[in-house]
A = this chain, B = another copy of it.
Amino acid sequence: MRREGPARGFEAAEFKVRTEKAQKLMAAQGLEGLLLWSEPDVRYFSGFHTLFWQSPTRPWFLFVPASGKPVAVIPEIGAALMRQTWIEDIRTWSAPAPQDDGISVLTELLAPLAQRGARLGVLKGHETSLRMPLGDWERLVQALPGLQLADATSLVQGLRMVKSVAEIEKLAHICAIGSATFDQVPSQVSQGMPLEEVFRAFRREALAQGADDVPYLVGGAGPGGYIDVISPPSRRPLKQGDVLMLDTGATWDGYFCDFDRNFAIGAADDAARRAYDVLWRATEAGIAAAQPGNNCRDLFQAMQRVIAELDDQGGDIGRLGHGLGMQLTEQPSHADFDTTPLQEGMVLTLEPSLGYGDNLIMVHEENIVIRAQGAELLTRRAVPELPVI
């Protein structure tokens, strides 16, 4: 049952290429360094991969200089693991240390930049957050007068959007595991089963199929459809006439799939079948539009035109898909506001949604990679008609 995956981790050459690409862009933008603090950004340039980020206690930093390898500024507990990456300059402190949680180590590292009034890139734009205490950030800025801060969000997000061959292999692997897991749902789910047991069975099956973890699993079930797409499971048993939706972000070697499937329990009514049909065809339109030369807005509009047959709001989940990689959702967004050009190597979700009936919502999702000729599916395409279990 278990499929063999590609190799874990990446060659050092991969990190070198990523770093040099960033440094080229930094030079063009007059940045003499880049300070990163989020799990995926630190991992992208270092290969440092641990679930320990789930503890909010300790901040972690990676500094990308104008040339040469990045410098890690991290709690001592991470030093052994960081030494296994391509990073050589690893500066640590004994954390947690509420009075000085890495701030003086960072200050020493950045002081030369501050002294010459250099520009430091940090990520403060859309889809970012400050993964350190705001008070510590304020203290750091105060300790470095002269340092100019610049927003490097689009620099880093722009690099991360286009996946390497090795990244696409990992993403294809976890999407295949997700597809195989969904294939087992009809044999594992039946009327009377509480939704929380449906979720548990799905998680166990994904692991059996080879996933490392299933950090994201949401869904819903209700008569004729569901009213919400981000809920944890209730104990309500599945009933005849329910529509069940499961949406999963499973991971392999730190890369996510993110897609969903719908199932009718016992029987499907016309409204649910119609909604499913519209979303299936909206996805087809998305697949056709997902090629170099188009942008995210084109993709959005191609799907929206089909969705409008039933609903001109699209269920208001705000967009109809997004980038996919080390995070469940990444840049870009398939939305009217996003004119990011589609490029070869982008891995994306197509995620049309619509409202129907009495406050019901339906979603549909596939994962693709953009090739020179157009979209290549990483997920096994959903069947064209709402399947009945």
Contacts and interface: CB of A to CB of B under 8 A. Distances in A.
Interface of A: 8, 49-52, 54-59, 75-78, 80-81, 94-99, 101, 122-135, 137-138, 151, 153, 196, 199-200, 203-204, 207-208, 212-218, 227-232, 234-235, 249, 254, 316-319, 322, 327-329, 333, 335, 337, 359, 361
A56 B128 contact: yes
A358 B141 CA distance: 40
A99 B333 CA distance: 13
A77 B134 contact: no
Closest 4 CB pairs of A and B: A124-B134, A130-B130, A52-B230, A124-B135
Copies of this chain, how many? 2
Contacts of A249: 54
Given A50-B218, A76-B318, A203-B213, 14 more contacts: A51-B218, A56-B129, A57-B333, A77-B316, A77-B318, A81-B228, A94-B318, A95-B318, A99-B337, A124-B135, A126-B133, A128-B134, A199-B212, A200-B207
28 contacts: A8-B235, A54-B327, A55-B329, A56-B129, A57-B329, A57-B333, A58-B318, A76-B316, A80-B228, A80-B359, A81-B228, A81-B230, A94-B318, A95-B318, A96-B126, A96-B127, A96-B318, A96-B333, A98-B125, A124-B138, A125-B135, A130-B134, A130-B137, A203-B207, A203-B213, A204-B208, A213-B215, A232-B254
Given A51-B232, A232-B212, A57 B130 contact: no
Contact of A151 (B58, B135, B212, B327): B135
Nearest to A200: B207
Nearest to A56: B127
A352 to B, nearest CB: 14
B319 A96 contact: yes
B215 A51 contact: yes
Contacts of A78: 230
B129 A125 contact: no
Contacts of A126: 96, 98, 101, 133
A316 B128 contact: no
A213 B78 CA distance: 25
A239 to B, nearest CB: 19
Contacts of A217: 51, 213
Contacts of A96: 126-127, 318-319, 333, 335
A61 to B, nearest CB: 13
A158 B43 CA distance: 33
A42 to B, nearest CB: 14
Contact of A54 (B101, B129, B216): B216
B218 A52 contact: yes
A319 B96 CA distance: 7
B131 A318 contact: no
Contacts of A123: 134
A318 B75 contact: yes
Contacts of A361: 80
A277 to B, nearest CB: 23
A76 B322 CA distance: 17
